[in-house]
Structures are given as C-alpha cells and as structure tokens.
C-alpha cells in the first residue's frame, strides 16, 4: 500500500486534451503535450510562497486524468503558510 | 503446508498456528488441517474474488494488503475494508452458501492462504475452537460494518472526510499516498466532492495542502466537522 508515485500523476488514457489544467494553473507550469499535460510545477510555489500547492489542475480535470497523491499527517508545529483559496 | 509451525515459502509469512482462527488448536489438530491450506501469490491490482461469483474458498492474508470493495452498476466503488497479514475474508459465502459478498483485489503483492469451502466447513465441524473464533470474527465485522453504514447514512460528506483525515493522521507513521479517487471510494462519495471539501477545509485553516502531503493543522476543528452530521 505504500508505493511511491510521481507527482502529479497523469493517466494519458483518460486525458481528452481539453486544456483546462493549462488554463487553471496560476504558475503557468502546465503545457499540453501530444498525449496529455506536461507539468513543471515548481518546488516553491511563486503564487503562494511555500510548499503549499494549489491542486487546481486536479480539481478542474473533467476526466480524473490528473492525480496529486498525498499522505495525511498531523501538524508538527512547523512553519505556517497561508491556506490556498 | 506440511508443517504448521514452519514458515512456508516466505519467511515473513505467519505460520498456521499464528492465524487467529487456529491459534487455540494443538499441534496434532494443526497437522490435520495443514494439508488443506494452500498458498498463492497475487500481483498488485490482481483480482482474487469477484462480487456475485460462486464462492471458491476462504482466504487469509499471509503477506501484503488486500482491498475489499463493492461496485455499483455505474462503476462507483465503496471500499469495505483493507486487510493485512493474518486477516481472513470471504467467510460469509462459505457459511451461507451464497455468492461472494465483495470483490477482493491485491493492493500490493499479496501472499494468501486459501482453504476450500468444503474443507473449511469440515474444519469448523471438527474443531469447535475454530467455529467460535469465526463467530467472534463475524460479530466484530457486524459492529464494524454497522459503523460504516452509520457513517454513510447519517453523516455528510464533509463530516465523513473529516473523520477520514483524522483517522489517517492518527494512524501515523504511514506513508501511503492517497488520491482523491481513493478517498472517495472509502467515504462513499465522488472525486469532485473530495476535492471541493478539501479546498473548503484548507480555506478554513483546518488543513494545509502541500506537495505530496496534507497536514492536519486544527485537529479540534476537524473533530467538530466530524461530529456534525
């Protein structure tokens, strides 16, 4: 159950090349390739200024081709960042 | 499986005497049962049993993780359980003679022990300790599934997601990487609702969503959400 996944993951068989992920990305970090989106999501988000990520590409994908997998952890009192709206 | 006290193919697999249904049996009884226990390995994603199909056997996870789920005609999944080492499944159809209750799929590479329906009946007839352990297991399953039904019927998606996040965060350390789709199949909703609700929780400051992880920031706040039916 603990398998490593690249991030975000693309299932090219589900992608219909609609381009919504490209339009939604506030960092302009998504380009549309021939078979699906190509991501260059920066480690530090210039829009938010921290490790926080917007997940907008996943949210707008109408077919579920984009998945941003995550583990769920309790806060250990590290640096706080603004929530993504 | 000739020697119930020896490990079989993989040294990490539990021995027959370590399985909960057989823990109360003596060595003589274990030796009697051992020839009826077979071991098979399944690859990640491989289907072990199919909901609605005739029952072939009772299974016990020796190693790995198995996911039990039911599927609607529209293709929506509801996860019933994740099973790990030492946990049995497919008991209900063995006992009531009906078809398989759920589909079982290997999540990781999984090694399973199997006992045919007929042999399992015979083992329960011959060894009341096994029958008692099976009854206790089924009683615990009724309780667990009653909680699942309560969650699905009486709580909102928002409350169910809050409960799920709290349960996963409390289960640390676990490095499982969840997708919104997987969470949806666990809490009885659709991917889009999980995405919207996670965003709501982030806006409310209950969680922080980072690359590869979601951090529970306000456990008390999430518990209030979890209680709100």
Judged by a CB distance cut-off of 8 A, whether residue B205 touches chain A is yes
Please name every residue paired with B104 in a beta bridge, in sequence order, or none if there are none: B49, B68
Token couple for A12 = 């090219």
pLDDT for B16: 87
CA A61 to chain centre: 11
Give the tens place of pLDDT for each residue, B62-106: 999 999 999 998 888 899 999 999 999 999 999 999 999 999 999
pLDDT for B212: 87
pLDDT for A46: 66
Q: Are B216 and A75 within 8 A, CB to CB?
A: yes
pLDDT for B195: 93
Q: Are B203 and A2 within 8 A, CB to CB?
A: no
Judged by a CB distance cut-off of 8 A, whether residue A22 touches chain B is no
Residue of A nearest to B176 (CA): A2
pLDDT for B28: 92
pLDDT at B172 over 90: no
How near does any CA of chain A get to the CA of B180, in Å?
7
Judged by a CB distance cut-off of 8 A, whether residue A51 touches chain B is yes
Partners of B175 on chain A (C-beta within 8 Å) are 2, 71
**Chain A interface, best mutation among B203, B211, B218, by max A CB count within 10 A:** B211
Give the tens place of pLDDT for each residue, B97-141: 999 999 999 999 999 999 999 999 999 999 999 999 999 999 999
User: How much is the average pLDDT of B2-24?
Assistant: 68
Please count the residue pairs, one from chain A and one from chain B, whose beta carbons lie less than 8 angstroms apart.
Answer: 102
pLDDT for B39: 94
Query: What confidence tier does B9 reach under pLDDT thresholds 50, 70, 90?
Result: very low
Compute φ and ψ for A10, nearest 5 degrees: -120, 130
Grouping H, G, I as helix, E, B as strand and the rest as coil, residue A38 is strand
Partners of A43 on chain B (C-beta within 8 Å) are 211
Judged by a CB distance cut-off of 8 A, whether residue A4 touches chain B is yes
pLDDT at B155 over 80: yes
Crossing angle of helices B157-170 and B180-187, rounded to 10°? 110
What is the pTM for the complete model shown?
A: 0.73
Per-position pLDDT tens, chain A of length 85 = 333 445 788 999 999 999 999 998 888 889 999 999 998 877 766 666 666 778 889 999 999 999 999 999 998 765 444 444 3
How near does any CA of chain A get to the CA of B169, in Å?
5
Picking from A3, A58, A84, the nearest residue to B202 by CB comes out as A84
Judged by a CB distance cut-off of 8 A, whether residue A17 touches chain B is no
Please name every residue paired with A71 in a beta bridge, in sequence order, or none if there are none: B213
* Neighbour-count burial of B67, counting CB atoms closer than 10 A to its CB (0-12 exposed, 13-18 middle, 19+ buried): buried
Judged by a CB distance cut-off of 8 A, whether residue A79 touches chain B is no
pLDDT at B8 over 50: no
Partners of B178 on chain A (C-beta within 8 Å) are 69-72
Give the tens place of pLDDT for each residue, B176-229: 889 999 999 999 999 999 999 999 999 999 999 988 889 999 999 999 999 985
Walk me through the domains of chain B, giving residue ranges and CATH numbers: 16-153 (2.60.120.10), 156-226 (1.10.10.10)
For chain A, the first-to-last Cα distance in angstroms comes to 31
Task: Quote the ipTM score.
Answer: 0.76
How near does any CA of chain B get to the CA of A11, in Å?
13
For chain B, the first-to-last Cα distance in angstroms comes to 49
How near does any CA of chain B get to the CA of A10, in Å?
12
């Amino acid at each position: 159950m603990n398998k490593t996944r690249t991030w975000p993951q693309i299932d090219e068989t589900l992608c219909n090349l609609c381009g919504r992920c490209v339009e939604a990305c506030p960092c302009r970090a998504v380009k549309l390739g021939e078979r699906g989106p190509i991501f260059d999501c920066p480690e530090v988000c210039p829009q938010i200024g921290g490790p926080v990520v917007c997940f907008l590409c996943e949210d707008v994908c109408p077919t579920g081709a984009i998945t941003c997998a995550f583990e769920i952890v309790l806060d250990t009192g590290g640096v706080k960042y603004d929530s993504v709206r | 499986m000739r020697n119930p006290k020896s490990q079989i193919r993989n040294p990490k697999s539990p021995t027959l005497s370590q399985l909960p249904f057989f823990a109360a049996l003596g060595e003589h009884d274990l030796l009697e049962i051992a020839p009826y226990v077979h071991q098979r390995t399944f690859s990640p994603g491989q289907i072990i049993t199919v909901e609605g199909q005739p029952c072939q056997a009772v299974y016990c996870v020796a190693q790995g993780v198995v996911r039990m789920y039911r599927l609607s005609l529209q293709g929506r999944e509801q996860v019933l359980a994740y099973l790990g080492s030492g946990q049995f499944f497919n008991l209900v159809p063995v006992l009531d003679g009906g078809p398989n209750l759920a589909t079982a799929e290997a999540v990781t590479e999984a090694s399973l022990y199997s006992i045919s329906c007929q042999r399992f009946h015979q083992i329960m007839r011959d060894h009341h300790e096994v029958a008692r352990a099976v009854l206790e297991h089924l009683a615990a399953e009724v309780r667990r599934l009653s909680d699942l039904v309560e969650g699905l019927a009486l709580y909102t998606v928002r409350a169910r997601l809050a409960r799920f996040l709290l349960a996963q965060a409390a289960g640390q350390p676990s490095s499982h990487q969840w997708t919104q789709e997987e969470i949806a199949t666990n809490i009885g909703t659709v991917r889009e609702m999980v995405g919207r609700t996670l965003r709501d929780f982030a806006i409310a400051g209950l969680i922080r969503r980072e690359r590869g992880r979601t951090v529970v920031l306000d456990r008390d706040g999430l518990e209030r959400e979890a209680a709100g039916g």
